[in-house]
Structure 1
Amino acid sequence: MKTMRVYITGMTCAACSSRIEKGLQRLEGVEQVSVNLATAQSVIQYDPTKLTPATVFKRIDQLGYGVEEGLTNPKKANEAEIRSYRNRFLLALLLSIPLLWAMLAHLPGFSFVWVPALLQSFYLQWGLASVLLFYVGYPFYYGAFQALKQRTANMDVLVVLSTTVAYFYSHYLMFRSDSSNQHIHLYFDTIAMIITVILLGKLLESIAKGKALKDLSELHDHRIRLIRVMHRKAEEWIPADKLRVGDIVVIQAGEWISADGIIESGCAEVDESLLTGEGLPILKSTNEYAYSGTRCLNGILHIKATCETHESRLSRMIAMVEEAQTNKPAIARKVDRVAAMFVPFMIACALITYAAWYFSSADDSSELAIRYALTVMLIACPCALGLATPVSILVATALSAKKGILFKHGNSLETLHRVNRILFDKTGTLTEGKPRLKTIQSPRHPSSYLLRMAAAVEKYSSHPLAHAITEAAQQQRLLIPEASGLLEIPGGGMKGIVEGKLVHVGHSAWIQSEGILLKGSLPINTAVENTGNVLYLSLERQAAGGFIFSDQLRDDASATVRQLREYAKVWMVTGDQLEPARVVAEQVGIEVVHSQCSPENKALMVSELRQEGHIVAFVGDGINDAAALAAADVGIAMGGGANIAMQTGDIVLSRSQITGVLDAIELSKRTMRNIKQNLTFALVYNSVAVPFAAMGYLDPRIACLGMAASSVIVVTNALRLQRNPIRSGS
């Protein structure tokens, strides 16, 4: 299966996005389709052996919409949309002024306003209304035609029906008045009001969506368009999409790094705050990784690209955010089903209103029937219903990305705030996953001497505990001697000759298998030894000392777990031995500990909790956590962990800060509350406004104002998420 992301133009309401989904799902080879109205994006999973992108594009075009493939900055599409609505609105306003001026002559209380005789001419009003309806309003007709062609209805159908009925009814009254010498009120000014106000509402809605896209656009802005590479010993600039694996990218001081790769030469301080949240610059030098989206503060770097631009860490982050915005949670799909029936239902309500007033005993019943049927169609707003969910998710996912929390699916955003069991892995999750030398115990030798001798052989090993010894020696600025005759025993240790002495460094079982007596020689208790975090050193086959290691607890682990216990019960599920697991659990305040769990046992435990009716979140970082992450209702992967864990998790904490779990839950809670507020407003608005319109309490002009305002209110409410940013421990 392949995944394709496209931008779609021409959508006006939830019925449009629903129609595109249904139309594409009918194509053979399409596995899954999701269309987001707020971002105008669609993610399509398809079988490339049965379907080509060209077929998908053709189908979208047949449905009456424009399409653009690729990962482009949504800000550009939004700016183009704003320009289009602004130009149409200004033209509509210019043509509407004479019609609205003439309308004042018919309003009680405005008789003092002078209205030129020319503006009261039926033929001038007819001409202006014709330009407004068939030129400025042409996109409404086009959208309605495409919708009806697919046997569906959207907001365009409501607008076209109401304005067309008003136009031809006024046309009929105008010529009947000429023959009967009667002076009557026409509805050309109503057409002007409808089109102008709806375009103003769409313009304000687009501007508000632009503000909602602000955070996502900032991520796009950090994607470099041109890259400087070394080619035949000379520097040249190439488009970003031409970058290939193995190219040498040149980065000068002050420039944004434009490719992911390994530093071939150079040394510089790099600002990685966009990706990691680390405020202080990090010194980067040869053989270390550098990432696009970070900034070289000083020095010059030559970076060998390890992936193409679309596979970079920054591009993957953007793709995760956009996928979360496009993949709809369950609540959004329910709303879409309601929205698909909304327009036909409102047309039926308008017909019933027309019939009720037409057969009533009121004077001018035919005119009242037309007026109030128009009002019913105008007051109804499927846009407010359709925007209620996607705009809130758009704001929330972009905001969370800036905090280093990447939601991969909308469902995880919907589910997370309801979890009542949170399971943590230990190593790399609650702890840093990097052992550090804690103490050195020896009855006879100085600690610095033992550290020098051990580092001499361990610097040639890639084992994590060996790295911890070497790092400790370097931090103490010890002079590490050379070693010869080196031999590494997998699972055992290292031995070699240092300063003429035979040195063994390793686990107790291997040391004793070499004929070296440990029991009673060193003051290390059994409990510490059972943790597996002890290495022994012998000199000339005599026990000399022991190195005790600890996996450093994350600074924010205790405070985070304490606050998470207010939301759910917190457990530790780890593959480590009981003793080190129990020590860490006591430090952070976790009461339930499951140790020595295999990957299968972790996944089984998650499944059993779900079968009992619990909503489970699992937080992990390693390959052994992948199955549990996939089995949980919400899998949360630490960004510094294994790739398979990040691929399996529903949420990725790119900054590897455990406070991200707390922030994600808080954001999930606030977002769902915001969505419910939007849906409640949209439903209450339509439930109250439509009966009022049908009973004759509203004028068509007021109705179109209400229709435009309801969409703007929904988007503005979603923007409140931006004004109250998430804070760790909030």
Structure 2
Amino acid sequence: MINIKIFSYLIKGMDCAGCANKIEIFCNKIKGVQKAEVDFTNALLIVHINEGSNANLKLEKGIQSIGFQLIKSESLEIKKEENKTCCHNTNKEENSLDIIEHTHNNQKFSHPFTPKNNTLFSRFKILQNNIWFPIVILCIGFVFSILIESFSEKYGMTAYIILTLLGLFPVARKAFVMAKVGYLFSVETLMTISAVGAIAIGAAEEAAAVIILFMIGETIEGYTARRARSGIQALASLLPADALRIDNNGEKKNIQIHEIIPGDLIEVKPGSRIPIDGLIHSGSSFIDESLLTGESLPTNKKVKDSVVAGSISTDGYLIIQATRQGGDNTIQRMIKMVEEAQGSKSRSMRSIEKFSRVYTPLILLIGVLVAVIPPLIFSYPWIEWIYRGLTILLIGCPCALVISTPSAISSGITAASKLGILIKNAGALELIGKVTTVAFDKTGTLTNGFLKVQTVHSFIHDENYILQIAATVEEKSTHPLAKAILAYAQDKNIKTLEATNGKTLPGIGASALVYDKEILICSPTYAKENALLSHEQILLIQKSQSEGKTVATVIQEKNAIGFISLTDELKPDAKSSLAKLKKMGVKSIILTGDHAISANAIAAGLDAEISAELLPKDKLSHIQSIAKTEKIAMVGDGINDAPAIAAADIGIAMGKGTDVAVDTAQIIIARNSIKSIVETIELSRKTMNNIKQNISISIGLKAIFLFLTIVGGTQIWMAILADTGATVIVTLNAIRLLRYKGIKNQ
């Protein structure tokens, strides 16, 4: 057994995927580090280090030397068997995006013209902390160099060289440190070679311009990257910072959210956000859950009803009993899920990373060949072709290419979270857009998941009497059918009667004495088997069942006096959403355990194949069979759906489903809407198209400028402008995904 320590750090100053790659490579080269992984989106570094090694100290010092700052969180000790992979530290520091303010290259620590102990500079601390301050200083220096050059070319050139070296210092230092651990082909290396080479051939003014453009581009890159990350902060803003706890003596105390423990009583005033997941202990209110569920109308909730963190008590005073730790609420789980998804890597991202490792040394080789071959073979001027070779090095910086995929994936996942779609990993976002078939469970997925009374049919008495005595018998039952009858009676303002000798009859129904008469609520099958129904009554009931309705018969003194038909209605957006899927080239199938007659009736009008009377193993077999030839997604909400969800290429769980289904799925629909399935597929396809556009932009611009450089149509400053411009364009293009608002109501 080997003891492993896992260190978790927040990284300050990491503004692009290239930075993340450098840090990861640097850490993995250090002796004693078993594995290091960088989550660029969340600015998080997780390092697995052998116990007893001082690798963490080397790592912290080394990373600071290449221009980044680490903020350390707690380490975890894990006992691990040899030759086995250790697990990740899942205890990420919550809301890391709120804790850390990202700045590019940690410039306020790196640049030599910001001395910490200088009294004059201390008066301008605000300027020193501004990421644009070093750039402004260099730009002012560049203007002065131009003025000096107008009077003396010699002194002007000297000014340009000093300015270049001043700006190049932190870049060259980072390149040197990276080279020491074997990462020779960094952007900083290419920049350093090009700037020094430009000075050597007498193009110092261009070298200075290149350094300034590089810094401007990297700073803009950092801003756009932070903009892409910022979407998740909208989730965190749904939670209040503190809560009012009521102790056993009735005294109230203001506490932080993380201090809440299960069982605590929390006061929520009208108009306030609910800070925790829990049950209503006292009071009632209309609860606005629109930001979490998408339900536009507030829901009336009373004692013992569940509420979730982030929702709003619109008009009532509530006392909520916490059912979870304060930090373990719906919003925090959503945030954690989105962070982990953004930090994961899709197949496309891994492919780009592999390509970039070959691409950068290839560009360096091309630059050398362009600089050397024409002068050697064709006797062309050395200065001119060295200049072109240096320009090619700058054109070849892989920043835009490396960031093209993660920026789009991150934006896509964030856009999905705003729509109540929680995607657990980047691979799921990539794959869901490729599915050709979506399999739906019926109950609770395509339907609302609860019964609702449709009609009350009387054989003898009026309908209100049938409903009244049925509600009286079912008053104390917890069966879904009983709840539906009671709710319907309340809507009709029908009061229950006095009943005695109430009984629940397992497998049959419920009975009680009402007005000293025995009343039985049972299934038509039981009534028919016991000869409690006439032939005409059976035909009426069968007609109702053929329409997909569930029937409860009302028997008085062994004579049928009526029946109540109930149905689990389709969700309002089910029909339009399945039609939309068909237009997108995605086939829909329905897998349900319901009776075939009921299933066909409820799904009438839906453009989908239906397979009914399926056990969980049958659903699993269907999914496995289809998955052999097609990409299939399974959508469900129950325990019986979990095996099929796990077997599908992509598992999707409705947010109000069981924990088993939610844990098994790769995508969770928090808003419980079928429309969200369509939005997930559409967003996936938009994201993949965005990635293709980004790759085309980054490679296309480089190819154009590479050709122009070889034929002598560009200068060094144009090259760096093209590279920086491509990076910014790619990032801005990815940010466009954050504007996705979903499909319009149909």
Q: TM-score, normalised by structure 2?
A: 0.85
Q: Could you tell me how far 1:200 is from its partner in structure 2?
A: 0.9
Say whether 1:568 aligns with 2:583.
Answer: no
Provide the rounded CA distance (Å) in 1 between the counterparts of 2:520 and 2:418.
49
The answer (yes or no) to whether the contact 1:229–1:248 under 8 Å persists in 2 is yes
Provide the rounded CA distance (Å) in 2 between the counterparts of 1:570 and 1:457.
41
Counterpart position of 2:512: 496
Q: Given the superposition, is the C-alpha separation of residues 363 and 94 from structure 1 closer, same or farther in structure 2, using an over 3 Å criterion? A: farther
**1:394-451 per-position Cα deviation (integer Å, ceiling 9, x unaligned):** 2222112222222222122212222211211111111111111122223211111111
Say whether 1:72 aligns with 2:95.
Answer: yes
| 2:232 pairs with one of 206, 210, 216 | 216
SS of equivalent to 2:327: helix
Counterpart position of 2:537: 522
| 1:457 pairs with one of 445, 462, 473 | 473
| Structure 1 runs not aligned, ≥5 long | 107-114, 171-185
Q: Given the superposition, is the C-alpha separation of residues 561 and 448 from structure 1 closer, same or farther in structure 2, using an over 3 Å criterion? A: same
Q: Given the superposition, is the C-alpha separation of residues 235 and 81 from structure 1 closer, same or farther in structure 2, using an over 3 Å criterion? A: farther
Say whether 1:196 aligns with 2:208.
Answer: no
Counterpart position of 1:669: 685
**1:472-531 per-position Cα deviation (integer Å, ceiling 9, x unaligned):** 111111110132212212221111112222111122454567x66224372534464586
Say whether 1:239 aligns with 2:256.
Answer: yes
SS of equivalent to 2:226: helix
Counterpart position of 1:394: 410
Counterpart position of 1:161: 193
Say whether 1:128 aligns with 2:160.
Answer: no
Provide the rounded CA distance (Å) in 1 between the counterparts of 2:136 and 2:70.
30
Provide the rounded CA distance (Å) in 1 between the counterparts of 2:326 and 2:53.
21
Say whether 1:344 aligns with 2:376.
Answer: no
| 1:40 pairs with one of 39, 43, 62 | 43
Amino acid of the structure 1 residue aligned with 2:372: A
Greater alpha carbon shift after TM alignment, 552-561 vs 117-126: 117-126
SS of equivalent to 1:548: strand
The answer (yes or no) to whether the contact 1:12–1:155 under 8 Å persists in 2 is no
Provide the rounded CA distance (Å) in 2 between the counterparts of 1:220 and 1:318.
7
The answer (yes or no) to whether the contact 2:375–2:385 under 8 Å persists in 1 is yes
The answer (yes or no) to whether the contact 2:701–2:722 under 8 Å persists in 1 is no
Provide the rounded CA distance (Å) in 2 between the counterparts of 1:532 and 1:674.
46
Provide the rounded CA distance (Å) in 2 between the counterparts of 1:326 and 1:534.
51
| 1:471 pairs with one of 487, 490, 504 | 487
Q: Given the superposition, is the C-alpha separation of residues 583 and 54 from structure 1 closer, same or farther in structure 2, using an over 3 Å criterion? A: farther
Q: Could you tell me how far 1:98 is from its partner in structure 2?
A: 4.1
Provide the rounded CA distance (Å) in 1 between the counterparts of 2:144 and 2:527.
99
| 2:133 pairs with one of 72, 77, 90 | 90
The answer (yes or no) to whether the contact 1:15–1:340 under 8 Å persists in 2 is no
SS of equivalent to 1:552: coil
**1:580-613 per-position Cα deviation (integer Å, ceiling 9, x unaligned):** 11112223232x21111111111111111111x2
Provide the rounded CA distance (Å) in 2 between the counterparts of 1:344 and 1:265.
68
Q: Given the superposition, is the C-alpha separation of residues 96 and 471 from structure 1 closer, same or farther in structure 2, using an over 3 Å criterion? A: closer
Q: Could you tell me how far 1:54 is from its partner in structure 2?
A: 11
Counterpart position of 2:113: none
Say whether 1:707 aligns with 2:707.
Answer: no
Provide the rounded CA distance (Å) in 1 between the counterparts of 2:408 and 2:533.
64
Q: Could you tell me how far 1:79 is from its partner in structure 2?
A: 5.1
Amino acid of the structure 2 residue aligned with 1:90: F
Say whether 1:583 aligns with 2:636.
Answer: no
Amino acid of the structure 1 residue aligned with 2:687: T
Provide the rounded CA distance (Å) in 1 between the counterparts of 2:289 and 2:522.
37
Counterpart position of 1:275: 292
The answer (yes or no) to whether the contact 1:417–1:668 under 8 Å persists in 2 is yes
Q: Given the superposition, is the C-alpha separation of residues 67 and 457 from structure 1 closer, same or farther in structure 2, using an over 3 Å criterion? A: farther
| 2:178 pairs with one of 110, 124, 146 | 146
Provide the rounded CA distance (Å) in 2 between the counterparts of 1:31 and 1:580.
58
| 2:676 pairs with one of 660, 666, 672 | 660
| 1:603 pairs with one of 595, 620, 632 | 620
Provide the rounded CA distance (Å) in 1 between the counterparts of 2:736 and 2:462.
62
| 2:571 pairs with one of 538, 541, 554 | 554
Number of residue pairs matched?
696
Amino acid of the structure 2 residue aligned with 1:17: A
Provide the rounded CA distance (Å) in 2 between the counterparts of 1:28 and 1:518.
83
Provide the rounded CA distance (Å) in 2 between the counterparts of 1:640 and 1:32.
38
**1:146-173 per-position Cα deviation (integer Å, ceiling 9, x unaligned):** 3541445322222233234445x37xxx
Say whether 1:437 aligns with 2:453.
Answer: yes
The answer (yes or no) to whether the contact 1:12–1:156 under 8 Å persists in 2 is no
Amino acid of the structure 1 residue aligned with 2:185: A
**1:10-34 per-position Cα deviation (integer Å, ceiling 9, x unaligned):** 4465454345556778999999986
Provide the rounded CA distance (Å) in 1 between the counterparts of 2:422 and 2:676.
10
Greater alpha carbon shift after TM alignment, 5-14 vs 624-633: 5-14
**1:615-650 per-position Cα deviation (integer Å, ceiling 9, x unaligned):** 111121111111111111122211122121122222
Q: Could you tell me how far 1:551 is from its partner in structure 2?
A: 1.0
Counterpart position of 2:116: none
Q: Given the superposition, is the C-alpha separation of residues 452 and 53 from structure 1 closer, same or farther in structure 2, using an over 3 Å criterion? A: farther
Q: Could you tell me how far 1:333 is from its partner in structure 2?
A: 0.9
The answer (yes or no) to whether the contact 2:545–2:551 under 8 Å persists in 1 is yes
**1:196-219 per-position Cα deviation (integer Å, ceiling 9, x unaligned):** 111111222222223323432211
Q: Could you tell me how far 1:456 is from its partner in structure 2?
A: 1.2
Greater alpha carbon shift after TM alignment, 209-218 vs 116-125: 116-125
Provide the rounded CA distance (Å) in 2 between the counterparts of 1:325 and 1:522.
60
Amino acid of the structure 2 residue aligned with 1:72: N
Q: CA RMSD in A?
A: 3.4
Greater alpha carbon shift after TM alignment, 421-430 vs 500-509: 500-509
The answer (yes or no) to whether the contact 2:272–2:314 under 8 Å persists in 1 is yes
The answer (yes or no) to whether the contact 2:229–2:410 under 8 Å persists in 1 is yes
Counterpart position of 2:88: none
Q: Given the superposition, is the C-alpha separation of residues 487 and 34 from structure 1 closer, same or farther in structure 2, using an over 3 Å criterion? A: farther
Counterpart position of 2:345: 328
SS of equivalent to 1:657: coil
Greater alpha carbon shift after TM alignment, 380-389 vs 5-14: 5-14
The answer (yes or no) to whether the contact 2:268–2:318 under 8 Å persists in 1 is yes
Provide the rounded CA distance (Å) in 2 between the counterparts of 1:337 and 1:38.
19
The answer (yes or no) to whether the contact 1:193–1:704 under 8 Å persists in 2 is no
SS of equivalent to 1:359: helix
Provide the rounded CA distance (Å) in 2 between the counterparts of 1:278 and 1:154.
50
Provide the rounded CA distance (Å) in 1 between the counterparts of 2:31 and 2:246.
46
Q: Could you tell me how far 1:711 is from its partner in structure 2?
A: 0.5
Provide the rounded CA distance (Å) in 1 between the counterparts of 2:262 and 2:476.
30
**1:522-553 per-position Cα deviation (integer Å, ceiling 9, x unaligned):** 25344645868222221122222222211111
The answer (yes or no) to whether the contact 1:198–1:704 under 8 Å persists in 2 is yes
Q: Could you tell me how far 1:713 is from its partner in structure 2?
A: 0.7
SS of equivalent to 1:328: coil
Provide the rounded CA distance (Å) in 2 between the counterparts of 1:96 and 1:555.
60
Provide the rounded CA distance (Å) in 2 between the counterparts of 1:634 and 1:480.
48
Q: Given the superposition, is the C-alpha separation of residues 75 and 704 from structure 1 closer, same or farther in structure 2, using an over 3 Å criterion? A: farther
